[in-house]
Amino acid sequence: MITNPRWRALTRHNLFWPVAVLVALLLVNIPFTPDFFAIHMTDGHLYGSLVSIVLFGSPLILVAVGMTLVIATGGIDLSVGAVVAITGALTCSYISDQKDQDALSGVLLAMGLGLIAAVVCGLWNGFLVARMGIQPIIATLIIMVAGRGVAQLITDGQIITINSEPYKLIGGGYWLTLPFSIFVVAAVVAVTVALTRRTALGLLVESVGGNAEASRLVGIRSMRIKIMVYVFCALCAGIAGLMVSSNTSAADGNNAGLWIELDAILAVVIGGTSLLGGRFSIGGTVVGALVIQTLTTTIYTIGVPTQTNLVFKAAVVIVVCLLQSPKFRAKVFGARAKKTPPAAPAAVTTEPATPKMEVS
């Protein structure tokens, strides 16, 4: 079926399927909303579906970028949703206690407090995973379960609403005609890419994910790297928590960031990072997060009843995962190729998997 070598190389690139799905999803909108790609200026702000996809997707992109590094070390962080809730709760409750909620120093202090809480959560996760050697999925389950309780404890079970102009900026404000959160996300992504791809850090993270024991013997401080990625992931979740609470001007310990960990893991997987660790793609994750957000937006704009949102999401997860599964591709796409050399099924099964690893 696929003969052109260039085309083959392209389809094997690890960003091919995620980008293809994203483009397909964007194109689906055109028959329903002809001006889907139009961006217009109102009150000095840019508006348009593309802008709002990035705006509403910002917290998810942030959390997913942090999650990518954790998954690259062979771990997983289930606690990010709870960290989002804790950060928002702490920051908003501190701001709401201020006499002047618009005072910049108070807002900065509150944000600092929230982020410190996030870092503490990350340290705790990193300590359990790296020092105690506990399976990541269980170690982070603790904060996932207890964290929302802590967030509700901070807000006393209430939804705290605040009215602070400077705090509104980070999640709902505009700067240079674009939503401010886009700049925050861009900065975090840029710093992460620079640190992981322009320094050896990314390689170290991948080697720890590939084989922690071997990389320790080579002289990499794998324990330190692991703790670092959990702290980074929690910090990203903390910033996302600031964004969510700032956008709604409220902290809801129960619902803030609900299921964001699952969406983030999904974004990472859609982006082509293997859950087994050992390699990662930040670009893929950003595309993956955009796919999820575009899916949500598309469902709204084409007028499908919103309650079917989750069914569509499930369908996309299944399709993307199946497309990425070497075994599935061998069974479905390889079935035709198999006809010529029927004697070597093993070669057909392994063939699509091996080059993919080399590309990344």
Partner 1 sequence: MSTTTKTPTTAAKPEARTPSKAARVLGDRRLPVLVTAALFLAMYIAGLSRYQNYGFGDSQVFLNLFIDNGYLLVAAVGATFVILSGGIDLSVGSVIGFTTMLTAWLVQDVGLPLLVVIPISLGVGAFGGFLMGYVIHNFEIQPFIVTLAGLFLFRGLCLVISKESIAINDSAVSSLAETRVSLGLGELSIGAVVALVVLAAAFYLLHYTRFGRRIYAIGGNEQSALLMGLPLGGTKIAVYTMSGFCSALAGLLFMLYIQSGDPLHAVGMELDAIAAVVIGGTLLTGGSGYVLGTLFGVLVLGLIKSIIQFEGTLSSWWTKIATGVLLCAFILIQRVMTTRKKA
Query: Least distance (Å) from partner 1 to the CB of residue 324?
Result: 8
Q: Compare residues 310 and 344 and give the one whose CB is closer to partner 1.
A: 310
Contacts 24+ apart (CB under 8 A), 148-152: 148/81, 148/82, 148/85, 148/253, 148/254, 150/82, 150/86, 151/82, 151/85, 151/86, 151/88, 151/89, 151/251, 151/253, 151/254, 151/256, 152/89, 152/253, 152/254
Q: Compare residues 210 and 326 and give the one whose CB is closer to partner 1.
A: 326
Rounded to the nearest 10 degrees, the angle between the axes of helix 201-210 and helix 222-248 is: 110
Query: Least distance (Å) from partner 1 to the CB of residue 176?
Result: 36
Give the footprint of partner 1 on this chain (CB under 8 A): 76, 128, 132-135, 137-139, 141-150, 152-153, 157, 253, 262, 265-266, 269, 275-276, 307-315, 317-318, 321-322, 325-328, 331
Q: Compare residues 307 and 354 and give the one whose CB is closer to partner 1.
A: 307
Position of tokens 């993956």?
288
> What does DSSP assign to residue 308?
G
Query: Least distance (Å) from partner 1 to the CB of residue 273?
Result: 12
Of 63, 65, 56, nearest in space to 79 by CA:
63
Query: Least distance (Å) from partner 1 to the CB of residue 276?
Result: 8
Query: Least distance (Å) from partner 1 to the CB of residue 299?
Result: 11
Q: Compare residues 44 and 305 and give the one whose CB is closer to partner 1.
A: 305
Q: Compare residues 47 and 328 and give the one whose CB is closer to partner 1.
A: 328
Of 87, 92, 121, 125, nearest in space to 238 by CA:
87
Q: Compare residues 3 and 132 and give the one whose CB is closer to partner 1.
A: 132
Please work out, in degrees rounded to the nearest 5, the angle formed at the alpha carbon of residue 254 by the alpha carbons of 249 and 259: 95
**Rg of the chain taking only CA atoms, in angstroms:** 22
Q: Compare residues 331 and 338 and give the one whose CB is closer to partner 1.
A: 331
Query: Least distance (Å) from partner 1 to the CB of residue 76?
Result: 8
- What residues form DSSP beta bridges with 179? 174
Query: Least distance (Å) from partner 1 to the CB of residue 309?
Result: 7
Q: Compare residues 134 and 159 and give the one whose CB is closer to partner 1.
A: 134
Per DSSP, helices labelled H in the chain are: 5-12, 16-32, 49-72, 80-97, 104-126, 136-155, 165-172, 180-197, 201-210, 212-218, 222-248, 260-270, 282-301, 309-324, 326-332, 334-338, 345-350, 353-359
Q: What are phi and psi of 279, to 5 degrees?
A: -160, 155
Query: Least distance (Å) from partner 1 to the CB of residue 181?
Result: 25
Position of tokens 């699509």?
352
